[in-house]
Structure 1
Amino acid sequence: MTTYPPSTPVPHIEFDGRPATEEDLRIPALYGFGHFTALQVRDGRVRGLGPHLARLDAANRELFALPVDGDRVRELVRHALDGAGRRDASVRVNGYLPPGATRTTLMVTVREPAAMPSWARSLMSVPYARTAPHIKRPGEFGQTYYGMLAVRAGFDEALLTAPGAVVTEGATTNIGFWDGASVVWPGAPALAGITMALLEQGLARAGRPSVRRPVTLEGPDGVGRYRSAFVCNSQGIAPVRRIDGIEFAVDEELMRDLGAAYDSAPEDAV
């Protein structure tokens, strides 16, 4: 049985709208093939709720040839939030199709709200590219393994690279770079994170261009050509101070602009 330290509240887990049973929990334990989305809920509202629902539906159609109804997801998330007694929370919605099932099982996990630490992050590059990176899925061994090695080496996170030292994404984040004129996202296969998409849209509304182009560790497209960098995921945005041995300045104006771009995204009630 999993135990949690006293400072870590036990998560509230529901399967298809009912409290998780031992039988339910065998699904992710024994049939872990699936997908998920992670979102932060504040006062019952979510930025980018539509893209989260679209992500679940697209992944479910690709993996299981079945749709996931957005209204059903919203109902299940509301029910789980009520069951946990929370209006502010970290929420994950996982989709599984156990053997013999004809409808996707949706697991909703509710934990305490979370925010990315504000300090500048250090990243250790690693030679790992995810299979089907456009699908967000649980239990990714390579991400966890290299993330663990990065922390042991004194870094905050791993930076995943494809053959040719092509930068793709962080182990749990998207990464962006600033060249003094544009925000540059690596033009390589990676998960299109919801926060990344909201930043692109917000920057466009503010007249700040956002582009995709190849980024490598070294050479003419190397990370060293950029003035600064940042990472983002559902928990927020943080500057990058170092990739391997390459140092970056923290651009406070850029970080304020990124924060404003994210905050300009509308919030939708679950």
Structure 2
Amino acid sequence: MLMNMATLNGRSVDPDALLALALTNFGHFTSMRVDDQHVRGLSLHLERLVRDCKTVLGADLDPDRVRNYVRETVSDRAGSFVARVTIFDPTVEMGRPDKATTPSVLVTVRPTGDLPMPPLRVKSAPYERDLAEVKHLGLFGALHTRRAALLDGYDDALFVGPDGHVSEGVTWNVGFIGENGIVWPQADVLPGVTLALLQQTGQHHTTPLTLTQAKGMQAAFATNTSIGVRAISTIDDAPMATEHPLLTQLRDAYLAIPGERL
């Protein structure tokens, strides 16, 4: 059984070093599924961390340094699990986030489920993330929306922007299958690594989608590094097909993508 573990800059974590993370929640991260020491889209995950570090901390991040910390942390772990890399400055104070300029690298490991995963029932909710293009630590609003959906009997939430257009899920991108093939919402969303990998296969379209249009699609799916391609069975009270040739094709294409060695 995989135990949760963590390292900070390649060393065992001093709890005091995490106080700034707990008290300010200022930073960014990426999560990557590791299968037998290989990661699909590893280069894209590292590129995200470098790009977001410049945006959040105004600092350069050495991707080789990050990769080495991840490799060291999971070096003796077999099978499949999720490694999360969180970038933050342990010296940051709430009153002076402009002084947060020195990135530290927190690597945490947690178990993950087998692929493919069972379909999701999702509830639409009005919400849009701050600075959507960055995978930042500001998750309160998103998780509060997820909590409300769970309490209402659903598995997760699907965000709808102020313009009435569907955007993304709480921690996943959403895609649809329509008459013209695979469709992604045109909206301010996190540029997901799994989304980018999938878009390298087959024909894809991006267009604005209202909630009504989304419910009228032939099928829908959620996608991120942990879940791969996961069918959506219901959006609110609208049933969606969980079996579709293109959905199967997408899932198989993702599973066939070779992982990069850590």
Q: TM-score, normalised by structure 1?
A: 0.88
Q: Does 1:11 align with 2:4?
A: yes
Which residue number corresponds to residue 194 of structure 1?
Answer: 193
Render the CA deviation track for 1:192-240: whole Å, top value 9, x for unaligned: 111111111123xxxxx1011001112xxx2133111111111121111
Give the whole-Å Cα distance in 2 for the aligned partners of 1:114 and 1:37. Answer: 18
Distance 1:73 1:119, change over 3 A: same
Of 68, 76, 82, 1:90 maps to: 82
CA distance in 1, matches of 2:77, 2:110: 9
Instruction: Count residues in correspondence.
Output: 253
Cα shift at 1:117: 6.3
Q: Classify the secondary structure of the residue corresponding to 2:189.
A: coil
Q: Does 1:226 align with 2:220?
A: no
The more displaced of 179-188 and 113-122 is 113-122
Letter in 1 for 2:67: R
Residues in 2 aligned to 1:173 and 1:226: alpha-carbon distance in whole angstroms:
18
Could you tell me which of 32, 42, 57 is aligned with 1:64?
57
Report what 1:45 is aligned to.
38
Number of the residue aligned with 2:232: 240
CA distance 1:184–1:194, change in 2 (3 Å): same
Aligned mates of 1:165, 1:210 — CA distance in 2: 22
Are 1:216 and 2:210 an aligned pair?
A: yes
In 2, the alpha carbon distance for the partners of 1:131 and 1:231 equals: 20
CA contact (8 A) 1:34 1:138 kept: yes
Other-structure match for 1:251? 243
Aligned to 1:156: 155
Task: Kindly state the Cα deviation for residue 28 of structure 1 after the two structures are TM-superposed.
Answer: 1.4
Counterpart contact for 1:46–1:267, Cα < 8 Å: yes
CA contact (8 A) 1:202 1:265 kept: no
Alignment gaps of 5+ in structure 1: 1-7, 204-208
Rounded Cα–Cα distance in structure 2 between residues aligned with 1:116 and 1:130: 28
1:80 and 1:127, CA in 2 relative to 1: closer, same or farther beyond 3 A? Answer: same
Deviation at 1:139, TM superposition (A): 4.3
Q: Which residue is 2:119 aligned to?
A: 120
> 2-side partners of 1:114 and 1:23: how far apart?
32
1:38 shift after superposition: 0.2
Q: 2:4 & 2:87 partners in 1: Cα distance?
A: 18
Q: Deviation string for 1:7-31 (max 9, x for gaps)?
A: x965211000001012122131123
Distance of 2:151 and 2:70 partners within structure 1: 36
- The 1:102/1:232 distance shift into structure 2, 3 A limit, reads closer
Q: State the AA in 2 paired with 1:262.
A: Y
SS of equivalent to 2:102: coil
Deviation string 1:68-127 (CA, Å, 9 cap, x unpaired) is 111111100011113xx4133210000002336653111000122334662221110101
Counterpart residue identity of residue 11, structure 2 = R
Contact 2:57–2:102, Cα closer than 8 Å, also in 1:
no
Which among 254, 257, 269 is matched to residue 261 of structure 2?
Answer: 269
Aligned to 1:34: 27
2:229–2:254 contact (8 Å) kept in structure 1: no
Q: State the Cα distance separating 1:63 from its structure 2 match.
A: 1.1
Aligned partner of 1:145 in structure 2 is 144
The AA in structure 2 aligned to 1:234 is T
Change (3 A) 1:102 1:226: closer
Instruction: Work out whether residues 45 and 268 of structure 1, in 8 Å CA contact, stay in contact via their aligned partners in 2.
Output: yes
The Cα of 1:151 is off from its aligned counterpart by 0.8
Residue 96 of structure 2 aligns with which residue? Answer: none
Tell whether the 8 Å contact from 1:202 to 1:264 is kept in structure 2 after alignment. no
Q: CA deviation at 1:181?
A: 2.8
| Contact persistence 2:125–2:159 (CA under 8 A) | yes
Identity %: 33
Encode CA deviations 1:130-180: one digit per residue, 9 max, x unaligned. 111111122411111010110111111100111132100011111101113
